[in-house]
Structure formats: structure tokens, C-alpha cells
Amino acid sequence: MNLKHLAIGVVCSLGSIPVVGLLLQQLAEAAPNDIFFGWDFYIEVVVTGLLQGVMYALVALGFVLIFKASAIFNFAQGAMVLFAALAMVGFIEMGLHWTLAFLLAAVVMIIVAILIERVVLRPMVNQEPIILFMATIGIFFVLDGLGQTIWGSNVKALDIGISQTPWFVLQGEFFPGGLRLIPTEVVAAVVGALTVTLLAVLFQYTKVGRALRAVADDHQAALSVGIPLKFIWAIVWSVAGIVGLVAGVMWGTSLGVQFSLSLIALKALPVLILGGFTSIPGAIVGGLIVGVGEQVGEVFIGPLFGGAIQDWFAYMLAMIFLLFRPQGLFGERIIERV
Amino acid sequence: MAQAAVQVDPQGDALLSVQNIEVIYDHVILVLKGVSLSVPERGVVALLGANGAGKTTTLKAISNLLRAERGEVTKGSIHFGGKRIDRQTPHELVQQGVIQVMEGRHCFEHLTVEENLLTGAYTRRDGHKAVMQDLEMVYRYFPRLKERRGSQAGYTSGGEQQMCAIGRALMSRPRMILLDEPSMGLAPQLVASIFETMKRLNEDEGVTFLLAEQNTTVALKYASYGYILESGRVVMDGAADVLSANEDVKEFYLGLSGSGRKSYRDVKHYKRRKRWLA
């Protein structure tokens, strides 16, 4: 079911690329002084956007996981990304190889998840969602402060052996200079795709996955059939922490590990609104739409507004979605039957 | 006096025996004021009473779903199969064979019917094959569920959801099911069919039932013993046929009146009867 939705979503998004291209071509002809349009250039922008989108999707995924299983909007997801990346850099600075550092950072995130469950979630069982949301704001600042206290607040480089020089592929008639790709983004896209496939399989086909979805639907009923909520929550927060680590590594290698990493969570918001808070495929498709929309918007429509629309384009897109489809593209339909 | 009360166990070696429990919500609201009851192995016992009498709370005290609602058992004890269970988690209780089917069904809406049933087997450790056999067993008792196995539970009818909730509980291989208001919101025909299935499960699979019901007529027809709760106390108990024959039960719970409308002055006050001190 989930995979089918994902396939439909991907096909629709890909299908809209040439359509948008044609529209932009018309636009470029109408205002030739401001906008330059060429198909090779357009494709390059789209590809950059898609890769960027996967990075957004990785951050959004962490939100979706926790929201699905506990109906908590985890404001601290951004801080978890930062904390995970800081921990990994910390381990690398101790002289460890990055793979080992990654594994240790994953262990750190699992411990953080268990602590959050023990200290914050367990005493708050059955409180209003808004109270739990406030609690996650608390977690945000604690993690943020703690991370910087332990590992310092200066910008750190995170090097996992991916070269920063762009690749030029498919050199030929269509792309005279070759299609420009940033290696980090390509790796991020591959890792993102793997992560998502793994999560989809975990959710759809395993016993624990079924229990996770059951808890998401009705945690009292889940309790009544003997699903231990504490265990499930610890798992969900751990998985969200590890997904955060993956996102942190990917963003860290391209931007450097620093405080602003915790703010990319804000970019995940429009992704979530587009894709739906409860859908893993939604996070992916939402991420891709926001990524491509931003890039294409900035390059081809931006000049009409004097540029710099990248910062607000996604939010505007999200607002339009809220008007017409508040549950997002793939959000669970609100089933109401009496 | 208080010491003697703890020892009381009216039916000897019952499967479930609840002794003199008191339940408090949020540290302030006293909901159960000393409820005692016992359920024999393979029995069907009904817990009757009006809205807010404490039926659901009693069931939740047994299955320990109270803790998640900020309630707790502050006095008394609960034994299941001779073992004290009032400090155990729902997870442990389900493993030992006590499972609750909650009021209002509470199916997992976005899971398919079959996935709903499979979640019931979460605590089991006896392997995939045994679980699949029990799935077939559930489909035998509720053929309708087999037809609807692929639909999302949220889109099935109220009756199907009730079957799904009972089937889900069955998947845990329970010794005892705490069934809360199975008749709620269902057509009389469906209610009868649900109760018939309960009876068959009791006779053929040996499942013990403790049933909370507002529909006294149906409950007393299928149960062998009944307890009547009123504002957190057991005010009367007895064999189902004795209760059905009782004039006051007829008047207040069965809606049958032999002698026309009575004056409230003649109504017996049961709340003074403190059988938990007996």
C-alpha cells in the first residue's frame, strides 16, 4: 500500500517536470530579458533540486516517524540532527575512522532516545498533545546546549571521504559541458533512498512495524493487546535519532557541523505539510517537491521578483496545500465513522 | 475486621478473584469503593449497572489499563490463577492470559482487519505457524472477518469492528477475556450474534468471560452469575436466574414492572449493604 503510493507519487512528480519546463519556456519567451531557459540547463537545475530534496526528506522522515507512533510533533528533531552530527564529529576528532564514529554516534542516539522516553515521555503519558509538544521544545534546548557544551560551538568540518569537486557526467550532445552533480548530494540521495526502503519494509512487513503502526493508531488499544508502549517509543525515538544522524552527516558534510544545522528542521515543515505528517512516502515526495520547487523557482521565476525567493517559496507552497489538502499528499485520511 | 475482609473468597478457587479494591483517579477521585468479585474457570460472569457505576473501571483495574489513565488501585488485591496480579503491566497480563476488549471497540483504524488480528498475537512466542492456525480459528468463528480481511478496519461496520476487537483478543490465546460493553451501538440482531459467539467460545475453546454490560436483559441471558454495581460498590450479586427474578432488578435494570410505578419511598437503598465487610 505504502509502496504503491510512493510509486504513484514519484511518477506524478516526474511527469510534472516536462510540463513545468514547457510553461517556463513560454515564460522565458515572454520575458526574454530576465530569464534564460534551455532544456539542458533546466534539467540540471531539476536534478540539483531533486538531490537537495532528498536531504530535506531525510530530516522530515525523523518527524514523521515520531508523529506516526506517538502523535507528538517533535520540535527537537533538528536538535537531534545537530547532536548526532556533533557526536560523530567528536568521535572522529578522537581519532576514530568515520564508520566507527558513525556506529558510536548511532549508539549515542539510542541512549538519548531511551533517556527521552524515561525522563520526558513516561511521566507525561496521556497528557494533551500540546503539553508533549512543549516538552519537545524543552528537549530541543537541552540537546542543543548539551551538544555545544560537550563538543564546542565552532563550525566543524565533517569529512567522510566524499570529494567536494563536482562531477560532470553524460557529457555529449545534449549536455555540452556535462551534467553537473555534487558528489555529497548524490551520496545523500542514494543513502536516503536506502533508508526509506528499509523503513518502509520495517513498517509494512515486520511484527514490530505492525506494532508501531498500531500504537500510532490507538495507543490505548495497543496497550490492551499487550504491546509495551515504552519499548515501542524507545524504538521509534531511536530510529528517528539514527535517521537524524544520517541527515546530520549528509548536511554536515556539505554545510559543516554547526548550530544552524538544528534550524534545517524548519525547512522540514513545508515538506511535512506537503507530504502529510503521517506518511513516509509523503516525506520523500514532499522533500522532492520542495527541493525542485525551490531550485526551479529561484532560477527561473526568482528574477521576476528580484531573486531570493528560495527562502520563502517552500512555505508559500505549503500554505497553498493547507488550503486545499490539509492532510497533505499522502497523509492518512481522517476516518470518521460512527 | 479489615483483616478478615482480605481473606474472603466466596467461590473458593476461582480463576479470577478481586478483593475489596479501591480505585482512585488522579490521586483525588475515588471511583471504586471496595469492589469484590470472583469468576470461576470457564465461567461467564456479568458486571451490571448504570452509566458511571464503575464497570469499566473494574475491568481496567484487572487488566491494569488504569495506570495509563492516571488511575491506580489503592486498596485490596486481585488474584488470577492463584497469583497476585495487581502490580503487573498489561503486557505481562496478556502473556498470562488476561486480555481486555475495550468499550467502543478500539480497532486500529488504518490497519487492515487481518493486521488488526495479528497485533493481538504480539506477546506470543510460540511461532508463526501456531499464530496462523489461530488466525484460521478466528475466521471460523467470525467468517465475516475473513471476507473483510484486506479492508482497513476504520471502514468496516460497527458489528465487524466488534468482531475484529474480540478476534484480536482471541489471537493472544487468552484464558480470560474482559469484555466491555460489546452491545454498544449495535443492532439487536448483531448483539445476539456476538453473544452467541461468546457462548460458543466459552463452551468450545474454554475461554472465561467477565462481561460489563448495560444491556441487562441480554447479559443475564448469557451469563451464569451477575454482580450489580452502583456508584463504585457491589450492591447485589447472585446467579443469573435469581437476579432476573428479583423484583428490584426487574424494576430498575430490566425495565419490567409487575405492580405499576412505585413511589421512591418504597425503593430499597442498596448502597448501605457493605458486603465487602462480610
Substitution target in A225, A231, A332 with the highest count of B β-carbons within 10 Å is A225
> Which of A61-75, A174-188, A191-205, B157-171 is the most confident on average?
B157-171
On whether any CB of chain B is under 8 Å from the CB of A220, the answer is yes
Where residue B260 falls among pLDDT bands split at 50, 70, 90? low
Substitution target in A224, A235, A279, A280 with the highest count of B β-carbons within 10 Å is A224
**Considering the domain boundaries, does residue A111 fall inside one?**
yes
**Considering only A20-29, B144-153, B252-261, which range has the smallest mean pLDDT?**
B252-261
Question: Which of A126, A210, A222 is facing B70, going by the closest CB pair?
Answer: A126
Residue B17: CB partners within 8 Å, gap ≥ 6?
A: B9, B11, B37, B38, B39, B78, B79
Query: Rounded to a whole number, what is the distance in Å from the CA of B11 to chain A's nearest CA?
Result: 28
Residue A103: CB partners within 8 Å, gap ≥ 6?
A: none
pLDDT of residue B267: 58
Count of domains for chain A: 1
pLDDT of residue B164: 96
In this structure, the number of other CB atoms found within 10 A of the CB of residue A20 comes to 15
Query: Rounded to a whole number, what is the distance in Å from the CA of B110 to chain A's nearest CA?
Result: 7
pLDDT of residue B6: 39
Q: Phi, psi (5° rounding) for residue A333?
A: -60, 140
Size of interface A-B (CB pairs under 8 A): 86
Chain B residues at the A interface, defined by Cβ less than 8 Å, are 63, 65, 68-70, 89-91, 93-95, 99-102, 106-111, 115-116, 118-120, 122-123, 152, 154-155, 158, 168-169, 172, 185
Q: Give the whole-number percent of chain B exceeding pLDDT 90.
A: 71
| A222 chain-B contacts, CB cut-off 8 A | 108, 119
**CATH code, domain with A212:** 1.10.3470
In whole numbers, what is the pLDDT of chain B averaged over residues?
87
**Considering the domain boundaries, does residue A338 fall inside one?**
no
Whether B91 sits inside 8 A of A221 (CB atoms) is no
pLDDT at A163 over 50: yes
Mean per-residue pLDDT for A73-93? 91
Look at the alpha carbons of A82, A87, A88, A94 in this order and tell me if their dihedral is positive or negative: positive
| A106 or A263, greater pLDDT | A106
Where residue B272 falls among pLDDT bands split at 50, 70, 90? very low
pLDDT of residue B10: 47
Residues A55 and A291: beta-carbon distance below 8 Å:
yes
On whether any CB of chain B is under 8 Å from the CB of A243, the answer is no
Per-residue pLDDT tens digits for A312-331? 888 888 888 888 877 777 77
**Considering the domain boundaries, does residue A178 fall inside one?**
yes
Residues A156 and A94: beta-carbon distance below 8 Å:
no
Residue B226: CB partners within 8 Å, gap ≥ 6?
A: B45, B46, B47, B48, B219, B220, B237, B238, B239, B240, B243
Whether A226 sits inside 8 A of B102 (CB atoms) is no
| A217 chain-B contacts, CB cut-off 8 A | 108-111
pLDDT of residue B274: 46
Burial class of residue B28 in the structure, from the number of CB atoms within 10 Å of its CB (0-12 exposed, 13-18 middle, 19+ buried) = exposed
By CA distance, what is B92's nearest residue in A?
A226
Mean per-residue pLDDT for B113-142? 95
In this structure, the number of other CB atoms found within 10 A of the CB of residue A166 comes to 15
| A332 chain-B contacts, CB cut-off 8 A | 110
Q: What is the domain range of residue A219? A: 2-324
Mean per-residue pLDDT for B152-181? 95
pLDDT at A298 over 70: yes
Per-residue pLDDT tens digits for A198-253? 888 888 889 999 999 898 888 889 999 999 988 898 999 999 999 999 989 888 88
**Considering the domain boundaries, does residue A329 fall inside one?**
no
| B172 chain-A contacts, CB cut-off 8 A | 225-226
pLDDT of residue B7: 42
Q: What ipTM goes with this model? A: 0.85
Whether B168 sits inside 8 A of A225 (CB atoms) is yes
The CA distance from A10 to B35, in Å, is 59
pLDDT of residue B276: 44
**Considering the domain boundaries, does residue A331 fall inside one?**
no
pLDDT of residue B58: 95
In this structure, the number of other CB atoms found within 10 A of the CB of residue B73 comes to 22
pLDDT at A192 over 70: yes
**Considering the domain boundaries, does residue A46 fall inside one?**
yes
Whether A220 sits inside 8 A of B68 (CB atoms) is yes
Domains assigned to chain B: 2-97+174-277 (3.40.50.300)
| B277 or B140, greater pLDDT | B140
What is the helix (H) or strand (E) element at residue B190, kind and residue range?
helix B188-204
- Coil, helix or strand for A247? helix
**Considering the domain boundaries, does residue A317 fall inside one?**
yes
The CA distance from B106 to A312, in Å, is 42
Query: Rounded to a whole number, what is the distance in Å from the CA of B69 to chain A's nearest CA?
Result: 7
pLDDT of residue B5: 39
Count how many Cα atoms sit within 13 Å of the Cα of residue A120 in the half-sphere of its side chain. Answer: 23
Query: Rounded to a whole number, what is the distance in Å from the CA of A134 to chain B's nearest CA?
Result: 20
By CA distance, what is B170's nearest residue in A?
A225
Substitution target in B101, B105, B109 with the highest count of A β-carbons within 10 Å is B109
pLDDT of residue A332: 67
Substitution target in B110, B117, B172, B175 with the highest count of A β-carbons within 10 Å is B110
pLDDT at A80 over 90: yes
Whether A220 sits inside 8 A of B91 (CB atoms) is no
Whether A126 sits inside 8 A of B123 (CB atoms) is no
Whether B110 sits inside 8 A of A332 (CB atoms) is yes
Mean per-residue pLDDT for A31-39? 74
**Considering the domain boundaries, does residue A333 fall inside one?**
no
Whether A226 sits inside 8 A of B93 (CB atoms) is yes
pLDDT of residue A30: 77
Per-residue pLDDT tens digits for A10-31? 677 677 777 888 888 877 777 7
